[in-house]
Amino acid sequence: MVSVSTRKASYGRLSRFVQLLALALFAFAAPADAKTLRLVALGDSLTAGYGLPPGQAFPEVLQRVLSAKGFDVEVVNAGVSGETAEDGLARFDWSVPAGTDALIVELGANDMLRGLPPSGAKAALSAILDKAKAAHIATLLTGMRAAPNMGSAYQRQFDAIYPDLAKAYGVDLYPFFLDGVAADPKLNQRDGLHPTREGVEMIVASILPAVERLLATAKN
């Protein structure tokens, strides 16, 4: 007959074995590099959510859509209304901190609206892409288009900024941030410049495939 002390020792060893097996299985099932990706949206009022209720800005809506699709990602709203590309460059280091995995750059609209030289916006955006590249941050550049009343020469120079930079830096380009939304009264606020909640939802739906590719790149 097995003694009580012997049975207790056997049960103890079995319990310990089960615990170790469970820990091993958990470690095997969970990817070693699994982590929440940090995606920063660096932009102006179109990113900040000018005129919209709390929680309805582009980064917040994008966060909800990505989370609903199962992405483990934190989308940071680094938009500041009224900023030019140079302003975005000036605050890059604290708006896009160490540990950022992916970046959406949405800047240039205010440069265009103020009639600033396209060369200045291009230089600032180029410097932003330089910083992102040096920090090994996967980047999606979103384009803007000049309004027709800026004149054809200005329009050509400004519109060329984004495809030129995307090609030069080898980053993905979403050609026009306001695609499908610009100039539609139903999707813009009374100023005709900033999207409504419905407009933001359309922007997110349109840009989503590009963002999914961005996050896939950031994981690698």
Catalogue the active-site residues. 45, 191, 194
Tell me the residue ranges of DSSP E strands in the chain: 37-43, 73-79, 102-106, 138-142, 172-174
Are 103 and 40 in contact by the 8 Å Cβ rule? The answer is yes
CA–CA distance, 81 with 84 (Å, rounded to integer): 9
Please state, as a whole number, how many other Cβ atoms lie within 10 Å of the Cβ of residue 92.
Answer: 21
Q: Report which of 159, 130, 150, 140 is spatially closest to residue 206, judged by C-alpha positions.
A: 140
CA–CA distance, 203 with 219 (Å, rounded to integer): 24
Three-point CA angle 99, 103, 89, nearest 5°? 95
